[in-house]
Structure 1
Amino acid sequence: MMIHPQYDPVALALGPVEVHWYGLMYLLAFAAAYGLAWYRSTKREGWTTDMVSDLVFFGALGVILGGRVGYVLFYQFGELLQNPAYLFKVWEGGMSFHGGLIGVMLGMLYFARKYKKTPFQVLDFIVPCVPTGLLFGRIGNYINGELWGRVSDGGYNWLTYFPQAAGFDMQQLQANPELQEVMTEVNGQYLLPRHPSQLYEAFAEGLLLFLFLWWYSSKPRPRMAVTGVFMLGYGLSRFIIEFFRQPDVDQGFILLGWVTKGQILSTPMIIIGLFLIGYAYKRGIYDWGKHAAY
């Protein structure tokens, strides 16, 4: 089993300027999205480098604003009611993918209106670039030692002891004394072995989804289909990996004693994704290739 290295949160220190790992991951995510979108623009008619720059800018704005607002509304609504200023305490951390997704879609709607494109022309173009952002984001979560996975007694070599979870580990031990059998002392702390679910998500929602979407979108597909595949792929990946991810401490299980907030938020994505794929192939409208409706 592994022990989380407890990385220094500062990735780079240039004099008085400190670049934190999570900020660096965001920078890499946006840079990757721009590079991939620029490449896609060279393979599609009706797209220019200036348009790509605007698209990534609005997308980044949507991710940051939507991610923060979504986190506060979905996971810290009680805190918001008690202290509305909490919304602006970004230095305390807290971002939501589902909120970021809504923010990105709003940004894409504005972009589509500005450049006289349909929303799904824009979404089908950009969503194959999105999983790289998820990949870097989840790596950032792992480096920070946050959003760790559930306790496991499976003895798998990749299970990880997270010193950052020491307090919560003791709470779980008090609630489930049988966990004493798998608890281990690590540098003076008693820790439980957990799934490194951040890396599971980086692999499934990031790398695998990117490779599949990139391949799928490299050939002409009916409008809405690429967006539908992204929503279905992310929704399914997130829903499954939630079984290995520790529910948020202040949320726990929301429904039936096993359903998490992440699964509830991912279920509509699965349904919408399936609908979009079916509707796309039924309509058969193509934006590029020999069947394109110019």
Structure 2
Amino acid sequence: MLVHPQFDPIALQLGPVAIHWYGLTYLVAFGLFLWLATLRTRQPQYAQTGWTRRDVEDLLFFGVVGVVLGGRLGYSLFYKPDYYLSHPLEMLMVWKGGMSFHGGLLGVLAAMAFFAHRRGRRFFEVTDLIAPCVPLGLASGRIGNFINGELWGRAADPSLPWAMVFPQSGSDLPRHPSQLYQFGLEGVLLFVLLWVYARRPHAVGRVSGAFLVGYGVFRFIAEYFREPDSFLGLLALNMSMGQWLCVPMVLAGIVLWWRAGAVPAARMAR
């Protein structure tokens, strides 16, 4: 049976400055976004409409602000509303941990809406550009989760070759390394599917819809192997909070994908 190696969370110590592995995975995610989004701006459908590297850098800035604020607020309101509504100032204490992907997504969408308004571009044009660039960043974050030994999986059959004991869980139960499942599904696999799909021109909004459906489905599957939050457990229909949050995401993606093909591009949201 495998045992999580319990990595030192600090990758490099430079005097009083400690560089954590998790911070490095964020830097990798940002670097991947810059590279991939720049490649996207060179594709004909974006190059012809004046997209530049400077636009990508601005998108990254707004996106980072959106994901941090949205991720923290989402975690506070989706997962621990009673506590954080009683201690609202702690919502701003990001160093205490606690981020929600679904909240981060809403934050990014708000940031992209602001960017689109400022630049006079259609909202779904912006989200179509960035959607295929996101999954590898998510994959990098899941590696950070694995290194930190957090967000471990549910108990697994001991005969499973890759079942792993996470001492951080406080038990010797073999578990699914669900961080790596999410790395593969909502990270690498989703990236490949979206990148291939988005290489050809599509109606504005369809790439964004495909991202919502793809991430929602893969995250829903991965949640069956991920240990639910101890303070929530499983909710109605034996589904986790993560799964329940994926349901409207998938439905919205289906509606967006269908509507994008049915509505003339000039009428899509700006």
Task: Provide TM-score, normalisation by structure 1.
Answer: 0.86
Give the whole-Å Cα distance in 2 for the aligned partners of 1:229 and 1:222: 12
Q: Is the 8 A contact 2:157 2:163 kept in 1?
A: no
Per-residue deviation, 1:259: 1.0
Instruction: Report whether the alignment pairs 1:200 with 2:181.
Output: yes
C-alpha deviations, 1:19-67, integer Å up to 9, x for none?
A: 1111111111111101111111122222011111111110111111111
For residue 203 of structure 2, what is the aligned residue in structure 1?
A: 222
- The C-alpha deviation readout for 1:52-102, integer Å capped at 9, x for no partner, is 111111011111111111111111212213322221222221111001000
Deviations 1:235-291 (A, max 9, x none): 0001111111110000101113x11100110000110111111112223639xxxxx
Does the Cα contact within 8 Å between 1:147 and 1:198 map onto a contact in 2? yes
Task: Give the match's secondary structure for 1:13.
Answer: strand
What letter corresponds to residue 225 of structure 1 in structure 2? R
Tell me, in whole angstroms, the C-alpha distance in 2 between the residues paired with 1:7 and 1:79.
31
Residue 78 of structure 2: aligned partner: 74
- Between 211-220 and 75-84, the greater mean CA deviation after superposition: 75-84
Query: Can you list the C-alpha shifts for 1:168-227, whole angstroms capped at 9, x where unaligned?
Result: x3xxxxxxxxxxxxxxxxxxxxx0000000100010000000011111100111111100
Asked if 1 retains the 8 angstrom alpha-carbon contact of 2:137 and 2:187, the reply is: yes
Q: Which amino acid is the alignment partner of residue 15 of structure 1?
A: G
- CA separation in 1, counterparts of 2:175 and 2:90? 30
How many pairs align?
A: 262
Which consecutive unaligned segments of at least 5 residues does structure 1 have? 170-190, 287-294
Rg bigger for which structure? 1
- Aligned partner of 1:53 in structure 2 is 57
Q: Deviations over 1:129-154 (max 9, x none)?
A: 01011101111111111111100225
Q: Is the 8 A contact 1:41 1:49 kept in 2?
A: yes
Tell me what 1:271 maps to.
Answer: 251
Write the distance in 2 (CA, Å) between the matches of 1:164 and 1:72: 23
Tell me the SS of whatever aligns to 2:235. coil
Please list, as runs of the form range in 1=range in 2, the aligned pairs for 1:174-189 lying within 5 A after superposition.
none
In structure 1, what is the equivalent of residue 22 of structure 2?
Answer: 22
Aligned-partner Cα distance in 1 for 2:137–2:18: 22
> Aligned to 1:222, what secondary structure does the other structure show?
coil
Corresponding residue number in structure 2 for 1:115: 119
Matches of 1:284 and 1:131 in 2, distance apart? 28
Percent sequence identity over aligned pairs: 50
User: Is 1:135–2:139 an aligned residue pair?
Assistant: yes
Match of 2:240 in 1: 260
Q: Secondary structure at the match of 1:25?
A: helix
Q: Distance in 2 between matches of 1:78 and 1:7?
A: 34
Structure-2 residue corresponding to 1:152: 156
Stretches of 4+ aligned residues off by more than 3 angstroms: none
Three-state SS of the structure 1 residue aligned to 2:12 is: strand
| 3-state secondary structure, aligned to 1:5 | coil
Find the counterpart in structure 1 of residue 263 from structure 2.
283
Q: Would the aligned equivalents of 1:79 and 1:86 in 2 still touch at CA under 8 Å?
A: no
Instruction: Return the alpha-carbon distance in structure 2 between the equivalents of residues 62 and 76 of structure 1.
Output: 20
C-alpha distance in 1, partners of 2:19/2:262?
Answer: 49
User: Quick one: distance in 1 between partners of 2:74 and 2:85?
Assistant: 14
Q: TM-score, normalised by structure 2?
A: 0.94
* Structure 2: gaps spanning 5 or more residues: none
SS at match of 1:146: coil
Q: What corresponds to 2:107 in structure 1?
A: 103
Alignment check: 8 A CA contact 2:186 2:215 kept = yes
